[in-house]
A = this chain, B = another copy of it.
């Protein structure tokens, strides 16, 4: 499969961090960038995409920052992937089937999708459906179970210091 935009990893991690914020709190882009070891300008581009997709809210001002726009259980992995990488299918059908000079020119002959396209898009749909079936709340539950105690403590310390 063609590579997803590398912003997808950063966006998923950031959204998961925001899912841990107490109600009413935000984190700055600078804090999120430092925590993930990426440049602030790089991350702001992706935070803007998440904001444009209405998954994240950006509160302006010197005490502003980012928070989730809705509950973690209402934000799917697909929401985040598509906010960063777009919603276009991976397989692009350019109607090669019509190009043989001997083929029919009647558009009605092509009114159903090419069967190659149908099978390619059906496979993509399984990927998309799987990501739609998983939310930030599922990732947060993974984190509870799977993050090492030392790193959990480091995360709690980061969140305590940086939230505002």
| Set of chain B residues within 8 Å of A59, measured between Cβ atoms | none
Report yes or no: A6 in contact with B94, Cβ–Cβ below 8 A. Answer: yes
A30 contact set on B, CB distance < 8 A: none
CA–CA, A13 and B1, complex, Å: 18
Task: Check: A41 CB closer than 8 A to any chain B CB.
Answer: no
Shortest distance between the CB of A6 and any CB in chain B (Å): 6
A5's closest neighbor in chain B, by CB?
Answer: B2
User: Which residues in window 80-107 of A have CB below 8 A to B?
Assistant: 81, 85, 88-94, 96-97, 99-104
Copies of this subunit: 2
B2 & A154 in contact (Cβ 8 Å cutoff) = no
Q: How far is the CB of A108 from chain B (nearest CB, A)?
A: 9
Would you call A128 an interface residue if the criterion is a C-beta within 8 Å of the partner chain's C-beta atoms? yes
Chain B residues within 8 Å of A123, by CB: 77, 127, 130-131, 134
- Chain B residues within 8 Å of A52, by CB: none
Q: Which 7 A-B pairs have the closest CB atoms?
A: A37-B99, A102-B154, A115-B142, A1-B90, A123-B130, A127-B127, A126-B126
